[in-house]
Every structure is written in structure tokens, then in C-alpha cells.
Amino acid sequence: MVIFAFGLETANSQKKMNEKELPPHMREDNLSEETKTLISSLPWNKDFIGNLYKYKGCWYYPNTLQGVLNFEKGFKPQETDIILASFPKSGTTWLTALTIALFERLKNSSSSSDDDLHPLQSDNPHGIVPFFEFNLYL
């Protein structure tokens, strides 16, 4: 997955957010030495929240970049893996929900009990299918 972040300077965005107020993927804490070394050599820019670093043509916040690097080093695909990839703001939630619905239908086609709660009735699609760089490898 590719994460795009755009910095827009506005009158309301002049104050920098406190590090503890930032979501985990935007923080600069808990970076490995390898990531710190890499970051020091990358082009960077400051947006209204924090620093962005350009890696392989995309801009990342530091901990998101840590997740991308961890993914690149540690991901071992399995035959049963399904990777859902889409361009941001192109219907990712909708595509995720359709994929979940399809696989749940295949999995539960033989037993349609009212006791079985469909995952989409109790959770957001992004809560069911985690992001590699935010949830699995951060």
C-alpha cells in the first residue's frame, strides 16, 4: 500500500501538534537505528503536522516509513494470502467491504444461521482487514 500525505499551510495549521497527540504512524519515537540512518539521507519536507520523508517516490511520516521498511524486510507471502491494494480515496472502504462480503458468503454458504453475526455488522471494513504499514508492521 502507498500512503500519500499532503501538507497544506493554513492560518489554523501554524501551530505544531504535540508529539503525544499524533497518531502512532506519524510519530518519530520507536524508530530503529536503520530507519534513523535512512531518514537522515532522504529528501524531506515539513507539513502542518510534522516531517515527511520521500522514500521510493512516496512521502511518509517517520513511523509509517518504519512500517514500510519492516514490511519490505519481513513479509513472507503465503499461498492463502489475499492482498487488497488500492489507490487512496478511490473506494478502498467499499472495495474492502465487498471483498469481506464475498469471502464471508463463500465461507458461510452452507450454514446460514441467524446466530452467526457477519463481521461487517460489528466492525468497520478497515478494522477487519488491517493495513500493513499501520497495523501489522509498525
Give the pLDDT of residue 78: 93
Which uninterrupted H or E stretch holds 44?
Answer: strand 44-46
Residue of 125, 126, 136, 133 whose CA lies nearest to 58: 133
Q: How many helices (H) and strands (E) does the chain have?
A: 4, 3
Give the pLDDT of residue 100: 92
pLDDT at 3 over 50: no
Total-model pTM: 0.64
Give the pLDDT of residue 85: 86
Could you give the percent of the chain with pLDDT greater than 90? 33
Strands of the 51-55 sheet, one edge to the other: 44-46, 51-55, 58-60
Residue of 73, 78, 18, 10 whose CA lies nearest to 50: 18
pLDDT per position as a tens digit, 32-73: 999 999 999 999 999 888 899 999 999 998 988 998 999 899
Query: In 47-83, which positions are buried (b, 16+ CB within 10 angstroms) versus exposed (e)?
Result: bebbbbbebeebbbbbbbbbbbbbbeeeeeeeeeeee
Q: How many CB atoms lie within 10 A of CB 110?
A: 6
Q: Residue length, the chain?
A: 138
Give the pLDDT of residue 106: 80
pLDDT per position as a tens digit, 106-129: 877 655 565 568 889 889 898 888
